[in-house]
Chains A and B, each alone.
Chain A
Amino acid sequence: EADIYQTPRYLVIGTGKKITLECSQTMGHDKMYWYQQDPGMELHLIHYSYGVNSTEKGDLSSESTVSRIRTEHFPLTLESARPSHTSQYLCASSASRGYGYTFGSGTRLTVV
């Protein structure tokens, strides 16, 4: 079944640790996105990609980085996690020209 997968679902880590949040989709979508969301709150676009080797910063400044080496994979990395990074991170994907926008279930990150 075509879908978008995020791992881990929950993560608690210590300050200063490096982490990578994984996102993979099996729909063959060219575009992928990362959003940051506090519980039940506004969606903030932090990174997006139009395709392989394409990455762009979103509306919200973020200390994270992304890469897009394969169409289906769009990982997000925090080099040194801080408590201010505590949030939910949602990955999404869409076709190049189209309105179909599919979200993953998110990674709930807590930095202690």
Chain B
Amino acid sequence: QQQVKQSPQSLIVQKGGISIINCAYENTAFDYFPWYQQFPGKGPALLIAIRPDVSEKKEGRFTISFNKSAKQFSLHIMDSQPGDSATYFCAAFSSGGSYIPTFGRGTSLIVHP
């Protein structure tokens, strides 16, 4: 049973466009939702994260939107750049559990120049 469903699996965007990746979760005990960015040959690195007490968090061109009632959160990349081409993973943690994250299956983003 996949507890965090991520879509789309792959995404192609033109330079300057908006990239949107969505995740949905089932476990209401999750209380921390990070996004990780992974470049080829590297491990995933934390990009941005949100807690369920806020509906949006913005860091530069990256924004997380969070909808607690729908149990969904999304990553928006504004003004997408070729350097943003990477695989993006959403994740969810529960402080009442083991603090081991549940990851989405990943989205491969390609930004064309």
Q: Report the stretch among B15-23, B42-50, B53-61, B69-77 that lies at the interface.
A: B42-50
A103 x B44 contact (CB < 8 A) = yes
CB < 8 Å neighbour of A99 from B32, B40, B41 = B32
The A interface, classified by DSSP as helix, strand, loop or mixed, is loop
Task: Please name all residues of chain B whose beta carbon is closer than 8 Å to the beta carbon of A106 when the two chains form the complex.
Answer: 41-43
CB < 8 Å neighbour of B106 from A40, A90, A99, A103 = A40
Task: Please name all residues of chain B whose beta carbon is closer than 8 Å to the beta carbon of A31 when the two chains form the complex.
Answer: 99-100
* A-B pairs with beta carbons under 8 A, tally: 51
Interface code A3-29, partner B: CB below 8 Å = 1, 0 otherwise? 000000000000000000000000000
Count of chain A residues with Cβ under 8 Å from any Cβ of B?
23
CB < 8 Å neighbour of B49 from A41, A96, A99, A104 = A99
B99 x A40 contact (CB < 8 A) = no
CB < 8 Å neighbour of B43 from A39, A48, A103 = A103
A-B contact pairs, 11 of them (CB 8 A): A40-B106, A48-B100, A90-B43, A92-B43, A94-B99, A97-B95, A99-B32, A99-B93, A100-B46, A105-B43, A106-B41
Interface residues of A (CB under 8 A from B): 31, 33, 39-43, 45, 48, 90, 92, 94, 96-101, 103-106, 108
